[in-house]
């Protein structure tokens, strides 16, 4: 770590701190407004559109983009690809924070934080998909907390507990993959209750499969994207192993993402054929559907393939950003754009500036916490006391 860098770390009024400080301040004011004046005071939600940006972006995108945790740990511990080991901790941390923020964001929508344990412990609605999603997110968040905790325990110097938890890694990974498979797909299944509201190009009996498969490449893309940002801004915190393995991680994940994305395009076309929805492709909605499927899935898949083939790290990183935008577009299309598509434009939903500001606030809180943890805890480097552990 260089001397200049150390001095930089101690500055308080950096551009990052000032901008994130302002966003957090605005977010806190809007939070008070939401919980004192009600959901109507800060959102454009109504009876036609009870789910808005907070569900479409914070929850659906948040859960999908947090899939990097189960994908990376499954690759490393279940498939035995140990060359991706250095990516596991950053991926688990991103996933853990992602899920924490999903639950945090859900409070703004539901509005009664003290009632959070009710669906799990007091009145479980066992026939509801939402109950299954809630239970899985509750259990998986617990699993992610335990998976992440060795980094915090190493930082705190609690060797005994840390060693017990590390021995549970494989079990936790398997549990995490099962829970992720369940709730990633169930989030898609939630929309199967509304066949008359969701446009036929996006509605399908295979929605759960689409959501699960797209979460895999979203997770892979997120690991590449997060790795490229970490390289730019947290480079001084990385040890030699992390630096040496990072290119292999990005290109290996790019190759996997390319194949999964092409498979995703194929099952989407099969879905079109099964429901005989070809004629919708000639409409404006069809053009938008093709923009999503070709422009934001097939093309980035091809970019990933080229990057993996030519060993072009820069292209892999751009393809990761492209794919993440594609995933966000897909989730927003399903939950907002193509939802209630038949309603007149005056009754369509568009988020208020306060909904957008709260979403930005939640993402900013995540970035600030991520920065704090990666600055203080052994995420990008191995703690000197445990180097010989694996």
Partner 1 sequence: MEGIFYTLQDFMLHSKNITYIVMGIVLIVLPLFWRFLSGRDQKKRTY
Site for partner 1, rule CB under 8 A: 255, 258-259, 262-263, 266, 269-270, 273-276, 278-279, 305, 308-310
Q: Rounded to a whole number, what is the distance in angstroms from the first to the last CA of the chain?
A: 25
Please choose, from the candidates 321, 212, 305, the residue with its C-alpha nearest in 3D space to the C-alpha of residue 256.
305
What is residue 100's DSSP assignment? H
- Closer residue to partner 1, CB minimum distance, 172 or 224: 224
Contact 87, 95 (CB under 8 A): no
Q: Which is nearer to partner 1, 164 or 270 (CB)?
A: 270
CB of 195 to partner 1, least distance (A): 16
- CA distances to 155, 217, 252 from 162, rounded to whole Å, are 10, 31, 30
CB of 217 to partner 1, least distance (A): 14
Q: Which is nearer to partner 1, 13 or 273 (CB)?
A: 273
Q: How far is the CB of 284 from partner 1 (least distance, A)?
A: 17
Please identify, using beta-carbon distances, which residue of 62 and 326 lies nearer to partner 1.
326
> Hey, is 183 helix, strand or coil?
helix
| Shortest separation between residue 47's beta carbon and partner 1, angstroms | 33
DSSP state string for 206-227: THHHHHHHHHHHHHHHHHHHHH
Rounded to a whole number of angstroms, the minimum distance from the CB of residue 251 to partner 1 is 11
Nearer to partner 1, 179 or 308 (CB): 308
**Sign of the alpha-carbon torsion through 314, 381, 361, 50:** positive
Shortest CB 115 distance to partner 1, Å: 45
Distances (CA, A) of 43 to 32, 301, 335, 361: 14, 36, 16, 15
Q: Report the residue number, 276 or 345, with the smaller CB distance to partner 1.
A: 276
| List of residues 6+ apart from 108 with CB closer than 8 A | 31, 34, 39, 54, 358
């Amino acid at each position: 770590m260089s001397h200049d860098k150390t001095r930089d770390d101690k500055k308080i009024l950096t551009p990052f701190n000032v901008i994130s400080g302002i966003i957090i301040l605005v977010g806190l004011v809007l939070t008070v407004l939401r919980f004192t004046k009600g959901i109507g005071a800060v959102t454009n939600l109504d009876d036609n559109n009870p789910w808005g940006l907070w569900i479409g972006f914070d929850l659906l995108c948040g859960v999908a983009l947090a899939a990097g945790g189960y994908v990376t740990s499954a690759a490393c511990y279940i498939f035995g690809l140990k060359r991706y080991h250095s990516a596991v901790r950053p991926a688990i941390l991103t996933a853990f924070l992602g899920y924490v923020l999903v639950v945090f964001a859900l409070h703004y929508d539901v509005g009664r934080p003290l009632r959070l344990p009710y669906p799990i412990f007091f009145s479980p609605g066992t026939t509801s998909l939402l109950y299954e999603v809630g239970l899985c997110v509750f259990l998986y968040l617990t699993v992610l907390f335990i998976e992440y905790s060795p980094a915090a325990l190493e930082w705190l110097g609690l060797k005994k507990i840390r060693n017990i938890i590390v021995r549970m890694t494989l079990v936790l990974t398997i549990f995490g993959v099962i829970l992720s498979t369940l709730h990633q797909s169930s989030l898609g299944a939630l929309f199967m209750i509304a066949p008359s509201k969701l446009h036929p190009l996006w509605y399908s009996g295979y929605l759960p499969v689409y959501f699960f498969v797209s979460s895999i490449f979203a997770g892979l893309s997120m690991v590449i994207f997060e790795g490229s940002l970490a390289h730019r801004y947290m480079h001084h915190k990385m040890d030699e192993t992390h630096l040496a393995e990072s290119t292999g991680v990005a290109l290996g994940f790019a190759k996997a993402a390319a194949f999964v994305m092409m498979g995703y395009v194929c099952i989407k076309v099969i879905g079109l054929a099964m429901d005989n929805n070809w004629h919708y492709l000639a409409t404006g909605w069809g053009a938008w559907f093709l923009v999503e499927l070709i422009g934001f899935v097939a093309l980035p898949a091809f970019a990933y393939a080229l990057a993996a083939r030519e060993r072009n790290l820069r292209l892999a990183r751009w393809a990761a950003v492209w794919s993440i935008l594609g995933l966000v577009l897909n989730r927003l299309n399903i939950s907002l754009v193509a939802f209630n598509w038949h309603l007149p434009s005056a009754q369509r939903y568009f988020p208020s500036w306060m909904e957008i500001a709260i979403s930005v606030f939640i993402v900013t809180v995540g970035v600030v916490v991520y920065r704090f943890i990666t600055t203080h805890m052994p995420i990008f480097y191995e703690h000197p006391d445990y180097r010989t552990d694996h």
